[in-house]
Chains A and B, each alone.
Chain A
């Protein structure tokens, strides 16, 4: 080793960025990696979105117009997998990368090379996952949940590539989760107590724990599918003493925490935006933290509510029904606290606040339909209908995605140094919020009337609902182009944002220049600054 410590640690050019393409491939900087995550997830949002558009075009009217049933199954499967694993989750990790070091007064993430690895695994996973479209037997078609035996006995060869993509994405998520936990525990500014951390940091800490807890279980499930497919095992084959339902148990043991992995950071975002534009501290801040912890804890013991109709013993159904309904308590605390934060606040409705308020309304609708689904006897009617599709899109689109878009509009001036186009961003909001309801609200009715999900054709009585949904979906899809436009414009120029573009904003990130320096805090911020920007700084 011919290098000296000075060369490795750097002098003043301490870990300076490389230039050109090497900067992005070899980066160890949390902001560069955050940007990579966010850009990648935006591209994936459109990739998964195009699949959704084809689905809605096929469902525009009854009968088979555009695609064959088997390809339709692939579309549904790949839409779900792409949106969950390549759009929503990477976007949330991108936000964590950009924000957590700035919000806790750190220079970077604790494990910067692992951080880069976590990102660069994802494009490779995308290639493996989507390669199936190029094979004669088509892309995976078992649904994003890849239940056995659809994924074992009856799946095309591309299922194997999906399994390996899941392994790679799992490694990415676990490494990302570990990195976030270590960063928060170890790189916090000395003056910042755990309990005083910003809510976004808290929600991500708990989410990161859920990632490390749940993702290995998914890897195990995928591994067992691989073995059943190729190495003669019978984990999910009753003829050999196994049980296809076992797959569902293992999958949902991962899958339900996964649901909260996708929503908790969005809760954190809303808890940052609402106080800023209410110009008030977050109501019940500590109870918010405990509520997130309680949600995460309970999320690990509700998984079988996805399986009520599969034939569980009654005792199990009752247990999972009650635990599921209990989650409404901490979730209700959160919604109540957001509303109470706005109560008598000096409210203004800048673009991020519009997304946050619509999140509170629309996520609550998704939460309430979730309570209906939690009820076992009612679930026997709702299960596998468009009611489920409506529910999951209200929590995932108007929940997670709206939270992410709100976060981008909130922090974009900080990231780029420029104010974005207010008028277009508001057009983006209003078009999105109207069209998303036009898309998904009628699905409640179609589902209650009995329309099954994951079928490319339907009975005539569902025609009107579906045409309305499809029109809404096309408008929603096109509206997202405005989002891209606003982002590109803000990157290229605009009015200088200044350190603190929102006058009610609190937090260490707003004490840095916009855009922030390459290493956010080369030395820890002073205790006084941490105190002033913390939850007690209002007093």
Chain B
């Protein structure tokens, strides 16, 4: 695992202002958002977003610059790989919390409210409630926006599955092209991946619009609407982030970055893209279909 020889020098990063400024930007963004939730001013969160984007882009530019100058040895490269892999693992755990919530309400909480099992006494709260899933009629529906129907797997969700799976294929084709140093094919497949990802986000936005305007399915539609939107919403956010990352990578390939042997930046983004893909498969099965 450790290939640095005993007399090789380590790479150590110079002092940098960007971590501190990134922390400041995140603080302003989130603290400002907290103010917004209580009718406070818009300015702090906007300022936070600007600071955050500015500092993160400078930070990345710095790392890319160091890489282009050839500062990074094999060991640094491995640090980045391990770091990205563990970061994706943390993302898996983040989605795990929401999937866990979905399974819990679906398999335990809702049946208990309907009078099943060891905790069927919860049924006493709303004796008329009948357990079902997707949950359309809530225990106390009068408090909520009752949807007309649940979101089925056919139509846009099935099509979007095809779109995202295809994009997983195209990003791999782009990777193979990069390894063969076939730059034109690399650009083509990368561009295709970006377009597929963007169409996914666009279709998802259209689906949300449809759900809100026609199905009456909103965040306020009880626990079915809650789990539906938090899972698909955070996934959509990640796809959007992935599209931005892919666009940066496309820009870098156009500038001539990456070689057939060394292209960690590309690989990190493609790992991320595949992760987003796998999460979608889980969503399609457990949120839309099952």
**A contact residues vs B (CB 8 Å cutoff):** 1, 3-5, 8-10, 14-15, 17-18, 22-23, 25-29, 106-108, 110-114, 116-117, 120-121, 124, 127-128, 131, 157, 160-161, 164, 167-168, 171, 174, 177-179, 181-182, 185-188, 190, 212-217, 219-221, 223-224, 227-228, 230-235, 237-243, 245-246, 249-250, 253, 311, 313-315, 519, 521-524, 526-527
The proximity string for B residues 105-118 relative to A, scoring 1 for CB distances below 8 Å and 0 otherwise, is 10011101100011
Query: When the two chains form the complex, which single residue of B100, B140, B226 contacts A250, counting CB atoms closer than 8 Å?
Result: B100
Task: Tell me the complex Cα distance, A188–B4, Å.
Answer: 10
| Contact status B138-A250, CB under 8 Å | no
List A contacts of B82 (CB < 8 A): 110, 178, 181-182, 185-186
Question: Contacts A113-B19, A116-B20 hold; do A313 and B117 have CB atoms under 8 A apart?
Answer: yes
The proximity string for B residues 61-85 relative to A, scoring 1 for CB distances below 8 Å and 0 otherwise, is 0000110111100010011001100
Question: Contacts A186-B1, A216-B94 hold; do A160 and B37 have CB atoms under 8 A apart?
Answer: yes
Quick check: is B154 within 8 A (CB to CB) of the other chain?
A: no
Closest B residue to A250 by beta carbon equals B97
Shortest beta-carbon distance, A315 to chain B, in Å?
A: 8
Task: Tell me the complex Cα distance, A23–B33, Å.
Answer: 31
Between A177, A230, A241, the greatest number of chain B beta carbons within 10 A of the residue's beta carbon is seen for A241
Query: When the two chains form the complex, which single residue of B2, B91, B112 contacts A190, counting CB atoms closer than 8 Å?
Result: B2
| Contact status A128-B15, CB under 8 Å | no
Shortest beta-carbon distance, B47 to chain A, in Å?
A: 14
Closest A residue to B143 by beta carbon equals A239
Shortest beta-carbon distance, A345 to chain B, in Å?
A: 33
Segment among B24-32, B180-188, B199-207 that sits at the interface with chain A: B24-32
| Contact status A217-B12, CB under 8 Å | no
Quick check: is B11 within 8 A (CB to CB) of the other chain?
A: yes
Quick check: is B213 within 8 A (CB to CB) of the other chain?
A: no
Quick check: is B244 within 8 A (CB to CB) of the other chain?
A: no
Q: Supply 13 further A-B pairs (C-beta < 8 A) apart from A220-B97, A233-B219.
A: A112-B12, A113-B19, A121-B23, A121-B26, A128-B34, A168-B27, A215-B90, A220-B94, A220-B95, A238-B125, A239-B126, A250-B101, A313-B117
Shortest beta-carbon distance, A520 to chain B, in Å?
A: 10
Quick check: is B285 within 8 A (CB to CB) of the other chain?
A: no
Residues of B within 8 A of A (CB-CB), count: 85
Q: List 26 A-B contacts (CB under 8 A).
A: A26-B16, A110-B83, A120-B19, A121-B23, A164-B30, A168-B27, A171-B26, A178-B83, A181-B82, A182-B79, A185-B82, A190-B5, A217-B97, A220-B95, A221-B97, A224-B98, A224-B230, A235-B105, A238-B125, A239-B138, A239-B139, A240-B143, A241-B105, A241-B139, A243-B105, A313-B117
| Contact status A240-B226, CB under 8 Å | yes
Task: Tell me the complex Cα distance, A186–B79, Å.
Answer: 6
Quick check: is B250 within 8 A (CB to CB) of the other chain?
A: no
Shortest beta-carbon distance, B208 to chain A, in Å?
A: 14
Query: When the two chains form the complex, which single residue of B5, B20, B34, B126 contacts A120, counting CB atoms closer than 8 Å?
Result: B20
Query: When the two chains form the complex, which single residue of A233, A235, A523 contacts B6, counting CB atoms closer than 8 Å?
Result: A523
Quick check: is B223 within 8 A (CB to CB) of the other chain?
A: yes
List B contacts of A178 (CB < 8 A): 82-83, 86-87, 90
Shortest beta-carbon distance, B134 to chain A, in Å?
A: 10
Task: Tell me the complex Cα distance, A215–B98, Å.
Answer: 14
| Contact status A519-B12, CB under 8 Å | yes
List B contacts of A17 (CB < 8 A): 15
Task: Tell me the complex Cα distance, A181–B27, Å.
Answer: 26
| Contact status B118-A28, CB under 8 Å | no
Question: Contacts A26-B17, A120-B19, A216-B97 hold; do A161 and B31 have CB atoms under 8 A apart?
Answer: yes
Query: When the two chains form the complex, which single residue of B38, B69, B220 contacts A232, counting CB atoms closer than 8 Å?
Result: B220
List B contacts of A522 (CB < 8 A): 9-10
| Contact status B223-A240, CB under 8 Å | yes
A-B contact count (CB 8 A): 267
| Contact status A232-B83, CB under 8 Å | no
| Contact status A164-B33, CB under 8 Å | yes
Shortest beta-carbon distance, B223 to chain A, in Å?
A: 4
Closest B residue to A244 by beta carbon equals B109
Shortest beta-carbon distance, B14 to chain A, in Å?
A: 5
Task: Tell me the complex Cα distance, A54–B108, Å.
Answer: 42
Task: Tell me the complex Cα distance, A221–B104, Å.
Answer: 14
- Chain A, interface SS category: helix
Between B1, B12, B83, B108, the greatest number of chain A beta carbons within 10 A of the residue's beta carbon is seen for B12
List A contacts of B86 (CB < 8 A): 177-178, 181-182, 212
| Contact status A231-B219, CB under 8 Å | yes
List A contacts of B38 (CB < 8 A): 157, 160
**B contact residues vs A (CB 8 Å cutoff):** 1-2, 4-20, 22-24, 26-27, 30-31, 33-34, 37-38, 59, 65-66, 68-71, 75, 78-79, 82-83, 86-87, 89-91, 93-98, 100-101, 104-105, 108-110, 112-113, 117-119, 122, 125-126, 135, 138-140, 143-144, 218-220, 222-227, 229-230
Task: Tell me the complex Cα distance, A178–B86, Å.
Answer: 6
| Contact status A241-B138, CB under 8 Å | yes
| Contact status B14-A15, CB under 8 Å | yes
| Contact status A227-B230, CB under 8 Å | yes
Question: Contacts A28-B16, A178-B90, A234-B226 hold; do A253 and B100 have CB atoms under 8 A apart?
Answer: yes
List A contacts of B98 (CB < 8 A): 220, 224
Question: Contacts A8-B69, A235-B223 hold; do A23 and B15 have CB atoms under 8 A apart?
Answer: yes
Shortest beta-carbon distance, A85 to chain B, in Å?
A: 15
Task: Tell me the complex Cα distance, A5–B70, Å.
Answer: 7
| Contact status B144-A28, CB under 8 Å | no
Task: Tell me the complex Cα distance, A161–B34, Å.
Answer: 6
List B contacts of A237 (CB < 8 A): 223
Closest B residue to A18 by beta carbon equals B15
| Contact status B109-A8, CB under 8 Å | no
List A contacts of B2 (CB < 8 A): 186, 188, 190
Query: When the two chains form the complex, which single residue of A120, A214, A235, A240 contacts B140, counting CB atoms closer than 8 Å?
Result: A240
List B contacts of A168 (CB < 8 A): 26-27, 30
List B contacts of A245 (CB < 8 A): 109
Query: When the two chains form the complex, which single residue of B27, B83, B94, B108 contacts A127, counting CB atoms closer than 8 Å?
Result: B27
Shortest beta-carbon distance, B136 to chain A, in Å?
A: 10
Task: Tell me the complex Cα distance, A526–B6, Å.
Answer: 7
**Which are the 6 A-B pairs with shortest beta-carbon distances?**
A220-B97, A117-B19, A233-B226, A232-B220, A313-B118, A124-B27
